[in-house]
Amino acid sequence: MNYLLPLQAQTNTHTMIWNPSKECMSRDEMMALQSKRLRKIVNYVYHNVQFYRNKMQVMDLRPDDIHTIEDIQKLPFTTKQDLRDNYPFGLQAAPNSEIVRIHASSGTTGKPTIVGYTRKDIGVWSEVFARCLSSFGVTRDDIFSVAYGYGLFTGGLGAHYGVEQLGATVVPTSTGNTEKHIRLLQDLGITGIACTPSYALYLAETMEKLGITKDDIHLRIGAFGAEPWTDKMRAEIEERLGLKAYNIYGLSEVTGPGVSYECEVQHGSHINEDHFFPELIDSKTLQPVGDGEVGELVFTTLSKEGMPLLRYRTKDLTTLTHGQCACGRTNVRMGRIMGRSDDMLIIRGINVFPSQIESVILSLEEFAPQYMIIVDRQGLLDTIKVQVELRPEFFVDDFPAMERKKKLLIEKLRSVLSISAQVDLLPPGSIERSQGKGNHVIDNRKLV
Amino acid sequence: MTIQQLSVFVENKSGAMLNILNLLKVEGIQLLAVNIADTVEYGIFRIICSEPSKAYKLLQEAGISVTLTDVFAIELDDKVGELARVLEIFHNESISITYLYSFLLNGKGIMIFRTADSDRTREIVILNKLKFIAERDLYSLV
């Protein structure tokens, strides 16, 4: 057997289109494929998910009413609240015997969002992630470090399977242990990395502290996502790590990272629309919004078996651009995430809802219901600080006892949010009371 | 042997102590000593004053986090090495001082402190013939 690739392939430095038959389809072919898959998925959820059958019956809608992809507008929306109401398995369409993996993301009330994957779902996810990597220029010759958190979060395992699917070498470094990571970057000659943009900057910072420069490592490609970032951050990451930085987008409800990806043109992120059909809507009227206009991104999973979703409202605000890209791909591109249509915060790649923090505070009798959340980017990492008022009857003239009360809240927040928050313990009346529905969040991060 | 101290929970912010002191002033409460210990975001403001019970009620009614704390008060001669001598006694008995502050009143040094073990502290004060001050004596010195 000959494992050697032809010389030309070994030295190829141009980016390759992983699956041209899907990434470069004509619009007519794509719509025909999407229509076929939509008919199938609607029929599938109607017969396997009571939630969707009920919703469609209330709307007097039958699977036969869906003919083409344009009929998608007849279908009901799905929201994060629906996922919560049907926790844990209510929206699962496949029987448990077919589910091979479960991921979970944070929910607003301490209830996580559960997503089950069949073997085929994992295969699709690996395939779309491989398309992303290939678009970034990753090849089988690359050694790729996955520095997203491994675990319930979709980032780690999602990227891991994508790298293996592509055939590059995966190094599952996960997060934390940054010094060992830097050592491996040097010793193994790692050429690619997937992580959050803020972790990339933290990595650069740690390298500088250790006296290691970008010339001592061999990174050439970075796949960054899971949190909003700016062109300024991109330039800084590229400069400090000596690599080319690409955006990758995804959300666990839909599959995880790999829903969309940049190409070498870096003019928006191509959506894997043969699997995840995007719509852009006005968050208030729920009516479609045209190319170039800002709207809320909505996804329908066209091929998912485990937990297929119809018209899932991501709450992410962006734009869509159809038409062929200079890279040759024809799949639709989404712009930068410009914000959220709800109050969700993304801190170090983790979704945090103010209501989660509120429910933790309210569950502890020591604290008054007033609170303030202050988000910042200090140096390179997102920080989150929660200011709370200690009720008068719990004040004691004893610093260690006061610090224990603070620690109790920090621990509870950590277990619910999966990230550590700083806590400011304050006397009653310190936090400004707002009229009516209070704004509890100050986000000092400059992202635009 | 012990006297009552007001302990007030304050935000570490300009004007926080002033608000407390103004409330006490209005009711004619006289201060003998104050001390502030702070962390990054909050502090504990400790006050020795006339009529501590009245002051406590007053602050509590104003919605302020306040407690009355029993603290030891010992009279020291105003001379070099006196505080060190007394602290050595406690150190030799393995009693840790939680906090301590001092002030001068009519030419006498007054040392206010708290320890982790009040009963043992009481014994040591008596056995070593340290001169403790009762509340009524303290205010009569004013």
pLDDT of residue A3: 47
Cis omega (within 30 of 0) for bond into A63 = no
Which class does domain B2-70 fall in?
A: alpha beta
More confident residue, A112 or A321: A321
- On the question of pLDDT at A120 being above 50, the answer is yes
Enumerate the residues of chain A whose CB falls inside 8 A of the CB of residue B46.
397
User: Percentage of chain A surpassing pLDDT 70?
Assistant: 94
Half-sphere exposure of A286 (CA within 13 A, CB side): 11
**Rounded to an integer, what distance in angstroms lies between the CA atom of residue A98 and that of residue A120?**
9
Cβ distance A397 to B65 less than 8 Å, yes or no, reads no
CB contact under 8 A, B9 and A390: yes
Cβ contacts of B13 on chain A, cutoff 8 Å: 430
Residues A155-167 have pLDDT tens digits of 999 999 999 999 9
Nearest chain B residue to A400 by CA distance is B98
Closest CA to A252 of A417, A83, A94, A96: A83
Q: Judge whether B71 is closer than 8 Å to chain A, CB to CB.
A: no
Q: Which residue of B has its CA nearest to A387?
A: B41
Structure tokens at A443: 């986000």
Asked if B67 is an interface residue toward chain A (Cβ–Cβ < 8 A), one would say yes
pLDDT exceeds 90 at position A117: yes
Q: Residue A330: is it exposed, middle or buried by C-beta count within 10 angstroms (0-12/13-18/19+)?
A: buried
Query: According to the model, what pLDDT value does residue B27 have?
Result: 92
Closest partner CB to B41 (pick from A426, A428, A429) = A426
pLDDT in tens, A333-350: 999 888 778 878 888 888
Average pLDDT over every residue of B54-70: 95
Closest CA to B51 of B30, B77, B35: B30
Contact B44 A425 (CB under 8 A): no
Q: What per-residue string of b and e applies to A82-102 under the rule 16 or more CB within 10 Å gives b?
A: bbeebeeeebbbbeeebbebb
Superfamily of domain A12-342: ANL, N-terminal domain (3.40.50.12780)
* CB-based contact, B11 to chain A, within 8 Å: yes
Confidence band of B107 (pLDDT split at 50, 70, 90): confident
Q: Would the CB atoms of A397 and B10 count as touching at under 8 Å?
A: no
What pLDDT does A105 receive?
82
Q: How far apart are CA A361 and CA A423, in angstroms?
A: 11
pLDDT band at B64 (very low <50, low <70, confident <90, very high): very high
Is pLDDT at B17 greater than 90 in this prediction? yes
For residue A427, give the nearest of B37, B42, B98 by CB distance: B42
Mean pLDDT computed over B71-76? 94
Of the candidates B11, B13, B67, which has its C-beta nearest A396's C-beta? B67
- Where does the pLDDT of residue A199 fall: very low under 50, low under 70, confident under 90, or very high at 90 and above? confident
What tens digit of pLDDT does each residue of A322-336 get?
Answer: 999 999 999 999 998
Tell me the pLDDT of chain A averaged across its residues: 91
Using the predicted structure, report yes or no on whether residue A142 has a pLDDT greater than 90: yes
A56-105 residue pLDDT tens? 999 999 999 999 999 999 999 999 999 989 999 999 999 999 999 999 98
B12 and A CB contact within 8 Å:
no
**B2, B38, B41, best to mutate vs chain A, most A CBs in 10 Å:** B41
Interface contact B11-A426, CB threshold 8 A: yes
Taking the Cβ of residue B128 and every Cβ of chain A, the question of whether any pair is shorter than 8 Å is answered with no
Q: How far is CA A432 from CA A253, A278, A349, A406, in A?
A: 36, 41, 29, 20
- Topology (CATH level 3) of domain A347-443: GMP Synthetase; Chain A, domain 3 (3.30.300)
Q: Where are the domains of chain A?
A: 12-342, 347-443
Q: Please indicate whether, in this complex, the C-beta atoms of B63 and A428 are within 8 angstroms of each other.
A: yes
- Are A12-342 and A347-443 the same fold in CATH? no
Q: What is the pLDDT of residue A110?
A: 59
Task: Read off φ and ψ for residue B98, nearest 5 degrees.
Answer: -75, -50
Outline where DSSP puts E strands in A35-155: 99-105, 113-118, 143-146
Residues of chain A neighbouring B5 (CB-CB closer than 8 A): 397
Evaluate whether A159 touches A172 at the Cβ level (below 8 Å): no
Determine whether the interchain pair A424/B41 forms a contact, defined as Cβ–Cβ distance below 8 Å.
yes
Q: For residue A53, count CB atoms less than 10 angstroms from its CB and return exposed for 0-12, middle for 13-18, buried for 19 or more.
A: middle
Where, residue-wise, is CATH 3.30.2130.10 in chain B? Answer: 2-70, 71-140
- Give the model's confidence band at A10: pLDDT under 50 very low, under 70 low, under 90 confident, else very high: very low
Taking an 8 Å cut-off on Cβ atoms, the answer to whether B65 and A392 are in contact is yes
Confidence of residue B141 (pLDDT cuts 50, 70, 90): low
Query: pLDDT category, A15, cuts 50, 70, 90?
Result: low
* pLDDT for residue A299: 98
- Size of the A and B interface in Cβ pairs below 8 Å: 46
Q: Which residue has the higher pLDDT, A175 or A261?
A: A261
Contacts of A424 in chain B (CB under 8 A): 40-42
CA-closest candidate to residue A110, choices A438, A413, A442, A445: A413
B130 vs A: CB within 8 A: no
State the Cα–Cα distance between residues A160 and A150, nearest whole angstrom. 9
Burial of A43 (0-12, 13-18, 19+ CB in 10 A): middle
Contact call for A396 and B11, based on CB within 8 A = no
Q: Is A292 left (phi over 0), alpha (psi -120 to 50) or beta?
A: left
pLDDT tens for A360-412 read: 898 899 998 888 999 998 777 889 999 999 999 999 999 999 999 999 999 99
Per-residue pLDDT of A281-290, as tens digits, reads 999 899 999 9
Q: Which residues of A touch B96 (CB under 8 A)?
A: none
Overall residue count recorded for chain B in this entry: 142
Please answer yes or no on whether B9 and A399 come within 8 Å at the CB atom.
no
Q: How far is CA A100 from the centre of its chain?
A: 21
Q: Measured at the alpha carbon of residue A45, what is the angle toward residues A302 and A52, in degrees to the nearest 5?
A: 115
Selection from A142, A239, A151 nearest residue A193 by Cα = A142
Rounded to an integer, the average pLDDT of A259-271 is 96
d(CA B75, CA B102): 10
A-side interface with B, Cβ within 8 Å? 387, 390, 392, 395-399, 402, 424-430
User: Mean of the pLDDT values across residues B20-49?
Assistant: 94
What CATH number is given for B71-140 in this structure?
3.30.2130.10
- Which of A65-74, A229-238, A422-431, B80-89 is predicted least confidently? A229-238
Q: Does B44 touch chain A (CB under 8 A)?
A: yes
Q: Using a CB-CB distance cutoff of 8 angstroms, which residues of chain B are in contact with residue A407?
A: none
Substitution target from A371, A385, A397 for chain B, most B beta carbons within 10 A: A397
Structural contact between residues B93 and B132, judged by C-beta atoms closer than 8 angstroms: no
So what's the pLDDT on residue A232?
Answer: 79
Question: Residue B104's beta-bridge partner residues?
Answer: B109
What residues are paired with A378 via a beta bridge? A381
Q: What is the pLDDT of residue A437?
A: 46
Q: How far apart are CA A307 and CA A299, in angstroms?
A: 13
- Torsion, Cα A351 A357 A363 A368, to 10 degrees, reads 180
User: In the numeric block, which tokens belong to residue A448?
Assistant: 């635009």
3-state secondary structure of A20: helix
Nearest CA in chain A to B6: A397
Query: Mean per-residue pLDDT for B30-57?
Result: 94
A37 vs A358: which has the higher pLDDT:
A37
**Residue type at position A46:** Y
